[in-house]
Amino acid sequence: MELIKSDFHTRCSDIKILYYHIVLISSERGTVKISSILKASVFIALYNNVEATFYSIFERIHNEVSVIPFSLLEQRFQLKLKYFYFKNCHVGDDECRDLRFPLLKDYLKKSSLFSGNLDTRKGKALFRTYGISFDKNFEKTKLYSLVTIKNKRNKIAHGELSLPDVGKVISHQNLLSIINNANEVLEEFIRSAEVFLSVNKHVQQMD
């Protein structure tokens, strides 16, 4: 997970650099429009960080699970394997005993995890299908940051709002709060995945 964390923190750092550049140029005359455009671009970068983080997490999970024999897989992974290879969750175990859980790049050729719709609710739902728990006591107001990011990004991507329109209604302080909250939420998703992988590795060793 260290590489996942390192890449995540690099993306977070790049976004903060962009943010502080926006603050800096906003003090100059005639920069209202460019400042608004750059603020909107922060939402694009934030959403990219969300998807990149989740992709790296699920890539790692698929890598770890792919080396476990079918008979030792948790039932949820056995069912996913059966549906991946046979499109049928009721296939007999004997037909699957020599098969391996697919790597993420192969899994995504047949199934979709997310596509422009990632927020906290979707992320937690995906985690549940893999048996990963998310902290129920995590501050709820911070969780909403991913919804804001997704919605802003999609309004840009779908042409509903222009870059200046998205950026001009966001204050510096509000934008910084969204950035920081999103980082904390994603860090908790990473932590949850790390705990999941650690526990499952222990179970595998016990077997």
What pLDDT, on a 0 to 100 scale, did the predictor assign at position 205? 40
Tokens (6 digits) for 179: 């950035």
CB-facing half-sphere around the CA of 54: CA atoms within 13 A: 25
What pLDDT, on a 0 to 100 scale, did the predictor assign at position 33? 93
To the nearest whole percent, how much of the chain has pLDDT over 90?
Answer: 79
pLDDT of 119 strictly over 80:
yes
Backbone angles phi, psi at 117, to 5 degrees: -125, 20
Tokens (6 digits) for 148: 């804001």
Closest to 189 (Cα-Cα) out of 113, 123, 112, 115: 123
pLDDT of 206 strictly over 80:
no
* 145 C-beta neighbours (distance < 10 Å), count: 23
Global model pTM greater than 0.85: yes
Domain ranges of the chain: 2-66+114-206, 69-101
Q: Could you read off the pLDDT of 124-171 as tens digits, one per residue? A: 999 999 999 988 888 888 999 999 999 999 999 999 999 999 998 899
CA angle 186, 191, 192 (to 5 degrees): 95
- Mean pLDDT on 10-24: 96
pLDDT band at 26 (very low <50, low <70, confident <90, very high): confident
Q: Which amino acid is at 82?
A: K
Return the SS3 of 105: helix
What pLDDT, on a 0 to 100 scale, did the predictor assign at position 201? 64
pLDDT of 99 strictly over 80:
yes
Q: Residue 2 and residue 72: Cα distance in Å, rounded?
A: 26
